[in-house]
A and B are shown apart, each in its own frame.
Chain A
Amino acid sequence: MVGRVKLAGLIAALLVILLPSFTLAQDVNFSVAPAEVHIDNLPLGEAAEFELTIHNKDEIAHVFTFTIFQPPEEDRRKGRTEFPDDSWISFSSQEIEVAANYEANVTVTVAIPREQEWAGEDWETWLGVAAESSDLLGVKLYVRLLVSTNSAMGARSNAGLVIGIVVGIVLLGYGGYYYFRRKAKPE
């Protein structure tokens, strides 16, 4: 059986196989800034935005694509845990064409749901930027995104506000009633 496979391999060897394409060799050179982003005190239910700048240092235009990657624990910063849901991060565009020797920005939005279980967390995820290419070698640059959420939930704060107002109204009402009752009393 092994002999037959080898014979088939020899027959295949007579045919033309090309790997990869014929196009001329090029280098690849681009940068992404910033390399690391910290978002601190992000309230639950709210969103934070920042910009990534992609600088195409090549002599030809490139289309850059954006991805989200969950790094393994050993590659994360100390004390950081896995970002729970990639869908909480969005790019203003999933790809962007950048002319030769030009820069372009993409806006990244991070929005955390308003749920108590996400309060007081320290997460890390990586944002990948790659130039689309059919070349054998490609480069992908990762931006570290470190997100810390508020320890208190917004809803609890609003509850405090409501309680404060209700107590205030009750006491004001009581005070007003007491005052006018005293005033109305004949001397």
Chain B
Amino acid sequence: MKAAVTSIGVAIILALIFSLPALAQDSGTITITMTGVNEISISLDKTQWPLGAVAADTEQTTSPPIEWCTLTVEGNCNVKTRILGEDARWYKDGVAQNYYWTLSNTNESDISDSVRGHKYMLWFRVRGDNPPDGRGYVLITKEPSEFWPPPSGGSSLAPGDTKQFGLKLLTPTYFVGGRQMQTQITISAVAA
């Protein structure tokens, strides 16, 4: 009788030893944390640059050249910002057409006019970011690159911080005229 009770007891204990961790595992909690700062936001006070008619192989600069647009950090967290461009596309009556100006990934000095063809170029320049220590005009490409802070280092932007900047565009050496071209430059932000 004693042995039977003991063996039943051992059986229950062993079963519990094996199964309890498993049961605990199944009822374990997934922790979702919205850590630290809770809102990210940047604003731009200007989003359009209506150029009108442009000639081939000419530079267009925003006016004023460097203080044209103001980026403001609106949220409550420090941010790192990046910028990228895309090909310009022909829009006819608001409908995208199959004709592009390719956004160049190479600086103008590196390629000849004949190679550039339907390629156009975009640059941005942040106020106060001047050579020799700063960057001056920076090429905008289809790969995201640092808007602020610059790759050489520097502080991320804090809530309330502003950065003024301007744009420069070089039209292709040749393009089909009479077409409305449209492109977009995206400025992105992520918590620093």
Do A and B pair up? The answer is yes
Given A34-B34, A137-B48, decide whether A12 and B22 contact each other with a Cβ distance below 8 A: no
Residues from chain A with Cβ under 8 Å of B42 in the complex: 139, 141
Measured in the bound complex, the distance between the Cα atoms of B50 and A23 in whole Å is 9
Known contacts A18-B50, A26-B47; A5 and B173 CB within 8 A of each other: yes
B32 touches A18 (CB 8 A): no
Check A20 for interface membership: any CB of B closer than 8 A.
yes
Q: Known contacts being A9-B174, A136-B48, is A34 close to B38, with CB within 8 Å?
A: yes
Q: Are A17 and B47 in contact (CB under 8 A)?
A: no
Mask, A132-163, CB within 8 Å of B = 1, is 01111111111110000010101001101101
Determine if B155 is an interface residue (Cβ-Cβ < 8 Å).
Answer: no
Asked whether any CB of chain B lies closer than 8 Å to the CB of A75, the reply is: yes
Question: Is A18 a contact partner of B56 (Cβ separation < 8 A)?
Answer: no
- How far is B48's CA from A65's CA once the two chains are assembled, in angstroms? 20
Establish whether residues A36 and B37, one from each chain, have CB atoms under 8 Å apart when the complex forms: yes
Structural contact, B10 and A138, CB atoms closer than 8 A: no
Q: How far is the CB of B169 from chain A (nearest CB, A)?
A: 8
Determine if B50 and A14 form an interchain contact, defined as CB atoms under 8 angstroms apart: no
Cross-chain contact A32 with B41 (CB below 8 angstroms): yes
Least Cβ distance of A134 to chain B in Å? 6
Known: A50-B32, A157-B21, A165-B15. A17 touches B39 (CB 8 A): no
Q: How many angstroms from the CA of A160 to the CA of B18 in the assembled complex?
A: 6
Interface residues of A (CB under 8 A from B): 1-2, 5-6, 8-43, 46, 48, 50, 55, 57, 71, 75, 126, 128, 130, 133-144, 150, 152, 154, 157-158, 160-161, 163-165, 167-168, 170-172, 174-176, 178-179, 182-183
- Chain B residues near A (Cβ < 8 Å): 1, 3-4, 7-8, 10-12, 14-19, 21-23, 25-26, 28-58, 69, 74-75, 77, 80, 88, 91, 112-114, 117, 169, 171-191
23 contacts between A and B (CB under 8 A): A13-B58, A18-B51, A19-B49, A19-B88, A19-B169, A21-B182, A35-B40, A35-B75, A38-B32, A40-B31, A43-B30, A55-B39, A128-B188, A139-B43, A141-B40, A142-B190, A143-B40, A158-B22, A167-B15, A171-B7, A171-B8, A171-B10, A175-B11
Q: Given A20-B51, A48-B30, list of 16 further CB < 8 A pairs?
A: A9-B57, A15-B178, A17-B171, A17-B175, A18-B51, A19-B50, A19-B180, A25-B48, A29-B74, A34-B39, A35-B37, A137-B185, A139-B43, A175-B11, A182-B4, A183-B1
Q: Which 4 A-B pairs have the closest CB atoms?
A: A15-B177, A164-B18, A168-B15, A9-B56
